Structure 1
Amino acid sequence: MSHQTGIKANEKLIKVFGKSKNGKLRVIKVSIENEELNCTATAEVKKDWERDYDKLIVPLIEESVPCYILYRLDSKTSLGYAWLLLSWVPDTATIRQKMVYASTKATLKNEFGSSHITEELHATNKEETTFDGYIRHKQDFAAPAPLTSREEELVELRKKEINTEINTDTRHQTLGGVTCPMSDATVAAIKDILNGTYDYLQFRIDLEEERIHVSKAAVVPLNELPRQVPTESARYHLYLFKHTYDGNYQESFVFIYSMPGYNCSVRERMLYSSCKAPFLDDLNALGVNVMKKLEIDSGAELTEDFLHDELHPKKFVNSRPAFAKPKGPPNRGPKRLTRPQEQSF
């Protein structure tokens, strides 16, 4: 499920997009400024696209400032020149910047024309923005076809076999699960929710690097909570449920593990399942006192009544009536006492 920010292209950028279709522009740099998509730089075609790449793109990359770069290739489609969309979102960017740029990319593509964009590249360090980084991306993209479900299961089983080589770089594996380390941004977001900056965090596992990243940090009203659960991928969620119980105001951390069934790959299901317990331990070590752990397959389950009942289960009093001896038949008359007859010998 994608959430867009409502940020749109301003008039200046729309005009640049219109001019770009004549083929003279090689590069368009787009930044989010004042809640608008704005054109912050352009460059015209100099030589062929390969020789222009580093000369025109690299100078536009700022150390900690995200941006989008649209780069015109020399190949053509039926609609005109093909374009590459480079999303530069460095690891040093703030959580808010990461979320805003991720959520606005779909809008940018629609404004420019999705059919003109034939390739996309997401870069988090400067090496990935170079021509060599682009080539490595192409090589990774051309990797062999994905394994079947059975092949993925076999690979995961082999990974879980005991490894006798132990060193400081070995990822900790136990029967309790596989530990996926948290990114620095994730740790910072957890500290922020403890300080009251947010009441909702969403976490994703990067399946390639096996690392936990924060994918959303926000203040989310309870009625909006179901919409935060993706329908195509697994996620961990941490929510501060504010409610009253027995007349007392309470704030309770609820950990939610959402897994939309078999929409996810075998590797994704196994990794999220294995990392859950160690991740909960890490949350506890950072000071998060999780009062309730839930597993769901759909956000529709996250209603106020559901969370309240999970935190405070209703106690059912045994109301079974005591056994009552049935009355005798009516009009039976008084009970007669009889004496035993004496036996004669």
Structure 2
Amino acid sequence: MSHQTGITASEDLRNFFATSKDGSIRLMKIGIDNEELVLLDKSEPRSSWEEDYDAQVLPHLDEKQPCYIFYRMDSTDNSDQYEWIYLSWSPDFASVKHKMLFAATRATLKREFGGGQVKWEIFGTVKEDLSLSGFRKHVEAHDAPAPLTFEEEELAMIKSTELSVKADIGVDTKHQTLSGVAFPIEDDALHKIMELGQGEITYVQLSVDLENEKICLEAAEDLAVSALPSRVPADHARYHLFKFKHTHEGDYLQSIIFIYSMPGYKCSVKERMLYSSCKSPVIEMVEQLGLQVDRKLEIDSGEELSEAYLYDELHPKKNIAKQAFAKPKGPAGRGPKRMTKPRAENGE
């Protein structure tokens, strides 16, 4: 509905609009009188629009009476028409009836004036809202990027990290570059990983130094599988390498399992993103050292890491029950069943 209140601009106001946009008018104040939009006041430019702003706008804001103000900027649009700021003033101490009336007529006035020439539209209930500083805050908020969702925030952090980080992984004096987001890894961590590969230890825990952007050694030991859950922190992410010694179908195996533990939202966004981004390069680094990673796991807590769980992850059970007594299908296109010829009564 175009006119929610039925109030439109008076003939005098329409004529004023037609002749007031040539640059001779800086401000026009408009109100409602006898169910018409009427011109209440106007002023001419004295200096630049920013210097004139507070001196011309603020005195026209009555503490109990709503009004509209069109304020001309010095800039022009693509059609060389001046750009305007449309201010809607609805003070807290105005009556509810007046507030509702002015709110319902705001769109009508903008159309009567010519919405294409309105560069900015601001609503205010206190003078600070419509002051020059309030206007600038409005522009800054308008131009600021929209708030990011959690997923968008994580994606932005990944992209930022990928641009700012270069891989530099040293094995003794040898440096290698890996794909993805790769931080340098400390020498003692590299040595312990090689010891795990040589069978000297069964467990290595790595962390990401968020401030210095490098991979660090947290722990290394000869660990039984029953003690593995206790090594997983409940408040920080970690990478774990565990050599799982077990038998399968009569064979003795030593399988290396890479475990990425992330206790959910107990960690900061930065920690979650850096661990997620560095995971693949760390696995590549381990494999480049000659270790074969037999299984990669992601867990929330150490409680999941039982011996049975690790075994099932390495050797998933196959469900063959459905096929054990399945009736085989007959050959396709074998035609109708053959008829048996009855024997003769004489035994011939």
TM range (shorter): 0.3 to 0.5
| TM-score of the pair, normalised by structure 2 | 0.45
Higher relative contact order (CA 8 A, sep 6+): 1
TM-score (structure 1 length as normaliser):
0.45
Query: Who wins on radius of gyration, i.e. which is larger?
Result: 2
